[in-house]
Amino acid sequence: MSEPQVRERVHREVVSYVRRSARMRPNQRRAWEQHGHEYLLDVPQRETSTSIAPDARLDLPAAFGRSAPLVVEIGPGTGESLVALAAARPGMDVLAFEVYAPAVAQLVGALAREQVRNVRIVAANAAEGLRHLVPEASVSELWTFFPDPWPKARHHKRRLVGPGFAALAAGRLGPGGRWRLATDWDDYARQMREVLDAEPMLRPEPVTGGRWDERPVTRFEARGVAAGRAVHDLSYVREGAGRE
Ligand SMILES: C[S@@+](CC[C@H](N)C(=O)[O-])C[C@H]1O[C@@H](n2cnc3c(N)ncnc32)[C@H](O)[C@@H]1O
């Protein structure tokens, strides 16, 4: 699978991530070239390399080579939590959306090294991926760990977890499906609670001990704790029937 190219600037919509150079280090390029075909799903894009064409579709059973309960992770970064969580769930299929190509390459390398086979990656915007590629009511678990916090008030509109995205994501969960989130920003945790509490398809549930104990500590969590920030783990369960 060929490496993504940085494309010329086009009209930009508001997105939850920083558009950065896709330049990879040699070991990342090697992982992408050697193992990309095992994990990366090619999807047609619009004008930017992180976009997804509205008519794009995925054949998930073909992509995973089986039918199994589906987990979706949004923004796994280099996969510090994804690799361990997926390895501990061989009976589930994990579909990850990550926009930053060097992180994806590192994730691919880690999955190959650990021989984790139940993960597929779309290197594109999760908001578009959920909308176009993931069927309604098809997801058993959705993971959103340490999404970019966009702490400045003028950037809050870029936060992933807002009302529109919450409705989209909740609709992708099957009844009883669970959305797990974590953030080390008090203010973002508050926003998540407000938005998700207000979403009629979701019901909050307590997280035992205040932290999902299976979730490995990542660099982002460690950095937040070192800076004196508290980590908030949230969990919401999908109830009722679907809506779009
Ligand atoms: C702060 S990092 C956290 C990484 C990882 N979840 C962890 O806990 O270590 C946020 C990640 O989400 C990715 N990201 C942000 N918005 C995204 C989106 N809309 N679609 C896919 N990936 C996204 C970023 O590229 C980045 O890798």
Judge whether residue 71 has pLDDT over 70. Answer: yes
81 vs 119: CA distance, rounded Å:
13
Task: State the average pLDDT over residues 6-24.
Answer: 72
**Could you tell me if residue 137 is inside a domain?**
yes
Judge whether residue 46 has pLDDT over 70. Answer: yes
144: enclosing H helix or E strand:
strand 139-145
Prediction pTM value: 0.94
To test the pocket of ligand 1, the residue of 12, 13, 74, 223 to mutate (highest count of ligand atoms within 8 Å of its CB) is 74
User: Residue 236: phi, psi to the nearest 5?
Assistant: -130, 145
**Could you tell me if residue 244 is inside a domain?**
no
Judge whether residue 8 has pLDDT over 60. Answer: no
Q: For residue 78, how far is its CA from the centre of ligand 1 (angstroms)?
A: 9
Cβ distance 101 to 18 under 8 Å? no
**Could you tell me if residue 152 is inside a domain?**
yes
Residues with CB under 6 A from ligand 1: 16-17, 74-77, 80-81, 97-100, 103, 125-127, 145-148, 160, 218, 220
**Could you tell me if residue 153 is inside a domain?**
yes
The closest alpha carbon to 148, from 157, 140, 139, belongs to 157
13-27, 74-88, 102-116, 170-184: least confident range:
13-27
Owning domain of residue 91: 39-238
Contacts of residue 22, defined as CB under 8 A and 6 or more positions apart, other chains included, come to 3, 4, 5, 6, 49, 100, 101, 102
Q: For residue 37, how far is its CA from the centre of ligand 1 (angstroms)?
A: 22
**Could you tell me if residue 151 is inside a domain?**
yes
Q: Which residues are catalytic?
A: 148
Cβ distance 63 to 129 under 8 Å? no
Query: For residue 224, which amino acid is it?
Result: G
Which residue minimizes the CA distance to atom 1 of ligand 1? 148
Angle at 102 between CA 98 and CA 108, to 5 degrees: 70
Tell me how many helices (H) and strands (E) the chain has. 8, 7
To test the pocket of ligand 1, the residue of 49, 72, 119, 148 to mutate (highest count of ligand atoms within 8 Å of its CB) is 148
Number of domains in the chain: 1
Which residue minimizes the CA distance to atom 23 of ligand 1? 75
- 23 DSSP 8-state letter: -
The pLDDT confidence band at residue 69, using thresholds 50, 70 and 90, is very high
**Could you tell me if residue 221 is inside a domain?**
yes
Q: For residue 9, how far is its CA from the centre of ligand 1 (angstroms)?
A: 22
Which ligand 1 atom sits closest to the C-alpha of 127? 19
At 75-124, the pLDDT tens digits run 999 999 999 999 999 999 999 999 999 999 999 999 999 999 999 999 99
At 217-227, the pLDDT tens digits run 999 999 999 99
Strand partners, 182: 145, 233
**Could you tell me if residue 76 is inside a domain?**
yes
**Could you tell me if residue 31 is inside a domain?**
no
Cβ distance 181 to 145 under 8 Å? yes
Judge whether residue 241 has pLDDT over 60. Answer: no
Q: For residue 147, how far is its CA from the centre of ligand 1 (angstroms)?
A: 5
Task: State the average pLDDT over residues 212-239.
Answer: 96
Cβ distance 182 to 145 under 8 Å? yes
CATH code for position 163: 3.40.50.150
Judge whether residue 44 has pLDDT over 60. Answer: yes
pLDDT reported for residue 11: 52
Which ligand 1 atom sits closest to the C-alpha of 18? 25
114: enclosing H helix or E strand:
helix 101-114
Would you tell me how many other CB atoms lie within 10 Å of the CB of residue 62? 9
User: Residue 161: phi, psi to the nearest 5?
Assistant: -90, 85
pLDDT reported for residue 20: 79
